[in-house]
Amino acid sequence: MKIHKEGYRIILVIFVLLVILLFGINQLFPEQTFIHYILYFTAIGFYFFVVRFFRVPNRQIIIDNNAIYAPADGTVVVIEEVEEPEYFKDRRRQISIFMSPLNVHINYYPISGSLVYKQYHPGRFLVAWHPKSSKLNERNTLVVEHTQNGKSILFRQIAGFMARRIVNKKSAPDIAIQGDEFGMIKFGSRVDIFIPLDAKVNVELDEKVTAKKTIIAYFE
């Protein structure tokens, strides 16, 4: 299993802390009991969870200039027409994907084009499915203008209750390639995608989607 480079330091730190914790417990209470075994299994399970969180899936993408791919793994929690106030300042179709701590948290470009806008917003850490999380939470907004049709979509990384850091190293202007990684959000989060109203939505509420595999909409 390949591990994302953002996880190296966290995985090492947690391993060292768990070793110190378990060593200290055994020093204070050397006689092995049922509680000791529970702690061992809990520590192993927690460590496995952290390692698995930073896994990098081996996926191929079928490039399709008419398709808008899911930028993240998770569950579709919002499909609605809204006013997008940050960049477009007009009506757009919003599709939101909630990522639980068990999902892959790497984010991928849904289309190819030019990265024309990027803005980081510090904020709170409400649960990611909260209606106000897209306005109040820590978030990072990107806009990509499509290479061929000139249409733009906005996607926003939103930190959740457990998340404390959005990773995104791309800077505008830049080139986005459909299926390439543009960042990740650590430990529970959400991604909002704002597409043109004439785009044909290809997913439903509560549907499970997979980044680089699920097409969430088509350009008209």
Which residues belong to the active site?
Answer: 189
Other residues' Cβ atoms within 10 Å of the Cβ of residue 71: 30
Partners of residue 69 on adjacent β-strands: 215
**Which residue, 172, 165, 96, 169, is CA-closest to 137?**
165
Q: DSSP per residue over 9-71, as a string?
A: HHHHHHHHHHHHHHHHHHHH--S--HHHHHHHHHHHHHHHHHHHHTB---------TTEEE-S
Is the CB of residue 189 less than 8 Å from the CB of residue 165? no
CB 166 within 8 A of CB 183: yes
Rounded Cα distance between 38 and 63, Å, is 48
Which amino acid is residue 139, in one-letter code? R
Instruction: Give the distance from CA 185 to its chain's centroid.
Output: 5
Q: Which of 213, 206, 212 is nearest to 96 (CA)?
A: 206
